[in-house]
């Protein structure tokens, strides 16, 4: 399955999955950095589709990603955003990250935060805006965390 077929397959799979919840919407699909980006418009069922702590959302991503992998697709990483939930969450996290970075700059002490992989990527990206700050992740699995520190001269 090539990239275009994988994109269409993921879009159709998500639309079928949403129809199971009684949500019949048109899903927007695109590709960015080898990741299939699926965007679901806002409906009255947003909270059910996102789930507590976005668990339902992550589960849908996992199912679609696993199915693509089993089909031998060229693209297998999937990111689903429902009603811009992830976008808004990333913006809030970016603001927090800027605060953590300012604290590191003022005190010189490193800041350690336990975050999931997607949230760590947001913090790494924000830290890239600062020449005197570096970030790195350490630990394994659910114990993986990000460290924000000043670059040593």
Per-residue pLDDT of the chain (153 residues; tens, 9 = 90+): 888 899 999 999 999 999 988 888 999 999 988 889 999 998 888 888 898 988 899 899 999 999 999 999 888 889 999 999 988 989 999 999 999 999 999 998 999 998 888 888 899 999 999 999 999 999 888 788 999 998 874
* CA atoms in the 13 A half-sphere facing the CB of 41: 6
Strand duo 28-32 + 133-138: pairing = unpaired
Domains and CATH numbers, the chain: 3-83 (3.30.300.20), 88-150 (3.30.1370.50)
DSSP 47-79: HHHH-GGGHHHHHHHHHHHHHHHHTT-S--EEE
- Model pTM above 0.95: no
Tokens of 89: 């969450």
């Amino acid at each position: 399955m090539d990239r275009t077929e994988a994109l269409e397959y993921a879009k159709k799979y998500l639309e079928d999955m949403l129809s199971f919840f009684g949500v019949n919407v048109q899903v927007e699909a695109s590709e960015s950095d080898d990741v299939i980006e699926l965007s679901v418009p806002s409906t009255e069922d947003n909270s059910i589709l996102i789930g507590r702590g976005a668990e339902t959302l992550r589960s849908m991503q996992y199912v679609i990603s696993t199915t693509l992998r089993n089909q031998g697709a060229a693209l297998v990483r999937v990111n689903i955003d429902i009603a811009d939930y992830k976008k808004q969450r990333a913006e809030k996290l970016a603001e927090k990250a800027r605060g953590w970075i300012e604290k590191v700059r003022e005190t010189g002490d490193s800041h350690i935060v336990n975050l999931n992989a997607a949230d760590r990527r947001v913090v790494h990206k924000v830290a890239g805006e600062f020449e005197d700050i570096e970030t790195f992740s350490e630990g394994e699995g659910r114990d993986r965390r990000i460290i924000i520190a000043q670059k040593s001269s």
